[in-house]
Amino acid sequence: MEKLSLRDCYGETLLNLAREDKRIVALDADLSGSTKTSLLSKEIPERFFDMGVAEADMIGTATGLSLTGFIPFASTFAVFGTGRCYDQIRQSVCISKANVKIVVTHGGITVGEDGATHQMVEDIALMTSLPNMRVFVPADAYQTKSVIEYVAKKEGPFFVRLSREKFPVIYDKDKNFNLLKADILKEGKNLTFIATGLMVFNCLEAAKALKGSGIDAEVINVCSIKPIDKETIISSAKKTGLIVTVEEHSVMNGLGAQVLSAICEEAFVPLLKIGIEDRFGTSGKPDELLKYFGLDPESIAKKAIEFYKRIKK
């Protein structure tokens, strides 16, 4: 199985865009080697601003740059790029509809050894709550490329969540994405997995594992969590009658909550939210942590079977 880094892909895509478009600038908060904005900084230093460990200042400076016609990409880890500067994103960026792109890496628990302080599991909740903000979580490197190109082109605030770990490749290299549309990767009959980020691949694997137990699972990748593609989700809900959302994020206010509120007015369908259960992360290796939190394909499949049996009995 081929795995590719979303961060590398971000850095390369951003550099390519900046080569073509002189309006593109990048900002970082002392993590450019990790977020890969360093690729741009090495080739085009005059359009790179390392703000030091000062995320609030970074968001404000990015906002100011956008007011003079530049297209700023501000990057750091998910925890610092959202919670640390929430009010700056709220007021300077979102109320003002500033053309600022916040692309964070190290979302979720697969940050690994750094532990709870660095494992951001509330960022999707924070960012989807903000009016005017659009929220993308790509499922592999090729989708990441498409997302970065899209947000550079579209006016207004965007939040993109990437991860530290490499992701298995799901899509063809040259796929033409319709990012606003939830993507049905596998058709199914009696259960729908709705996932985002790394969990999309894990759900595809879980769906395979379910075959023997009489569950033909549909798998949908929601890359655009806000705006969310209600139509695709509702029609799948009506078709299979059972939904399992899976995310590397708190179950309190993440993808699951967005899906639930998207369907509840039109479809009465039992929904199980799989994610981090209202708690913080902990140190460990990424693979160990996925198992520990029940986000590996086996655990997902097991929870889906239990849920299916409980509801269908």
Applying CB under 8 A, which residues contact other proteins?
Answer: 25, 46-47, 49, 51-52, 54, 56-70, 72, 87-88, 90-92, 95-98
Residue 88 CA to residue 74 CA, distance in Å, equals 13
d(CA 159, CA 133): 7
- Between 62 and 195, CB nearer to other proteins: 62
Which residue lies nearer to other proteins by CB, 73 or 136? Answer: 73
Q: Find the shortest distance in angstroms from Cβ 54 to other proteins.
A: 4
Residues 43 and 14 sit within 8 Å (Cβ to Cβ): no
Please, which residue, 4 or 54, has the CB nearer to other proteins?
Answer: 54
- What is the closest distance, in whole angstroms, from the C-beta atom of residue 158 to other proteins in the complex? 17
Least distance to other proteins from the beta carbon of 174, Å? 34
- Under a CB-based contact definition with an 8 Å cutoff, are residues 298 and 287 in contact? no
N residues, the chain: 313
* Contact in structure between 29 and 58 (CB atoms under 8 Å): yes
What is the CB neighbour count within 10 angstroms for residue 211?
11
Give the E-state strand segments of 162-233 in sequence order. Answer: 166-168, 183-186, 191-195, 217-221, 224-226
Q: Quote the DSSP letter at residue 120.
A: B
* Cα–Cα dist 50/250, whole Å: 30
Minimum Å distance from CB 85 to other proteins? 9
Q: How far apart are CA 19 and CA 164, in angstroms?
A: 25
Rg (Cα) of the chain, in Å, rounded? 19
Please report which helix (H) or strand (E) contains residue 256, including its range: helix 255-263
Which is nearer to other proteins, 70 or 307 (by Cβ)? 70
Residue 196 neighbours by CB under 8 Å, 6+ apart: 137, 139, 221, 222, 223, 225, 247, 255
Catalytic residue selected from 55, 122, 247, 248 = 55
Closest Cα partner for 24 from 33, 35, 11?
A: 11
What DSSP letter does each residue of 139-165 carry, written as one string? SSHHHHHHHHHHHHHS-S-EEEE--SS
Residue 306 is a catalytic residue: no
Cβ at position 153, least distance to other proteins in Å: 20
Closest distance of CB 31 from other proteins, Å: 16
Helix, strand or coil for residue 137? coil
Q: Which is nearer to other proteins, 70 or 308 (CB)?
A: 70
Our CB check for other proteins shows the closer of 155 and 187 to be 155
Q: Annotated active-site positions, please?
A: 55
